[in-house]
């Protein structure tokens, strides 16, 4: 049997699902998607369950917020000369040149866009996205390779890597054991790319961000909190 309930914590409305089983103690889990699942003992009274979930409101809200911060932000861009764009955490200035054929490449501290459509924002955005995609497909497999060794002792195999645009997350670890990385992550410093890969690989052992997940993170990447903070603050 499963029931849904909700309450307000500050301005946030928290919805949770309650299921019952043979357990002795109430368990509250916040999934990476932000959904809240409560498992309660069979004989616990409804009022008691709801009271105890609400008392944990601060902790639940903090868990949900943690995931929201983990989502990337993408500012609107004009793709004009002089505008800065990130690659592996380094700022490059854009240089837009009018030419007959479209091309995009790195030259020193510049990302150069050559195109007949210098005024077309969608065209220039598509070129830059294409460039990021190529860079991601070069860099992410290398980083996965480097980071996988950290997990060898945990019995986690290197997963299949999928690289694609994602609107709300930097990455995910699917139930089938695939690692999905957001193309946009190529804008982040390499140490943050590694953090996201380690974060998702740790979900192979622990789907939630509970004590077991944090224990594993502390073990394989002791400075993960700093990397997470950097990821959240350096890509604005």
Name which of 113 and 192 has its Cβ closer to Zn ion. Answer: 192
User: Least distance from C-beta 198 to Zn ion, angstroms?
Assistant: 11
Is residue 171 involved in binding Zn ion (CB under 5 A)?
Answer: no
User: Using CB atoms, what's the residue nearest to Zn ion?
Assistant: 32
Contact range with Zn ion by CB under 5 A, out of 27-35, 96-104, 148-156, 223-231: 27-35
User: Least distance from C-beta 37 to Zn ion, angstroms?
Assistant: 15
User: Least distance from C-beta 173 to Zn ion, angstroms?
Assistant: 8
Contact of 56 with 72, CB cutoff 8 Å: no
Is residue 159 involved in binding Zn ion (CB under 5 A)?
Answer: no
User: Least distance from C-beta 70 to Zn ion, angstroms?
Assistant: 7
Name which of 54 and 71 has its Cβ closer to Zn ion. Answer: 71
75-85 per-residue burial string, b: 16 or more CB within 10 A, e: under 16: eeeebeeeeeb
Residue 62 sits at φ, ψ, to 5 deg, of -65, -40
Name which of 32 and 159 has its Cβ closer to Zn ion. Answer: 32
Number of shown-chain residues binding Zn ion (CB under 5 A): 1
Structure tokens at 184: 């946009």
In this structure, the strands spanning 12-21 and 110-115 are unpaired
Name which of 79 and 173 has its Cβ closer to Zn ion. Answer: 173
Name which of 143 and 228 has its Cβ closer to Zn ion. Answer: 228
Is residue 32 involved in binding Zn ion (CB under 5 A)?
Answer: yes
Chain contacts with Zn ion (rule: CB under 5 A): 32
């Amino acid at each position: 049997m499963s029931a849904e309930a909700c309450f307000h914590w500050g301005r946030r409305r928290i919805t949770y699902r309650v299921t019952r089983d043979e357990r002795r103690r109430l368990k509250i889990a916040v999934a990476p998607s932000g959904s809240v699942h409560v498992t309660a003992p069979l004989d616990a009274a409804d009022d008691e369950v709801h009271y105890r979930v609400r008392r944990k409101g601060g902790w639940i809200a903090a868990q949900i917020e943690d995931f929201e911060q983990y989502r990337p932000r993408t500012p609107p861009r004009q793709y004009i000369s002089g505008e800065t764009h990130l690659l592996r955490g380094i700022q490059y200035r854009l240089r837009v040149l009018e030419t007959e054929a479209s091309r995009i490449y790195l030259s020193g501290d510049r990302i150069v866009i050559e195109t007949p459509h210098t005024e077309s924002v969608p065209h220039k955005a598509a070129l830059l996205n294409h460039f990021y995609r190529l860079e991601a497909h070069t860099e992410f497999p290398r980083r996965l390779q480097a980071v996988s060794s950290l997990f060898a002792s945990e019995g986690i195999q290197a997963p299949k890597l999928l690289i694609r645009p994602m609107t709300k997350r930097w990455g995910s670890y699917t139930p089938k054991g695939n690692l999905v990385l957001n193309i946009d992550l190529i804008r982040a410093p390499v140490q943050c790319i590694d953090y996201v890969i380690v974060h998702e690989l740790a979900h192979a052992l622990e789907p939630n961000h509970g004590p077991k997940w944090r224990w594993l993170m502390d073990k394989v990447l002791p400075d993960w909190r700093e990397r997470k903070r950097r990821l959240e603050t350096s890509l604005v």
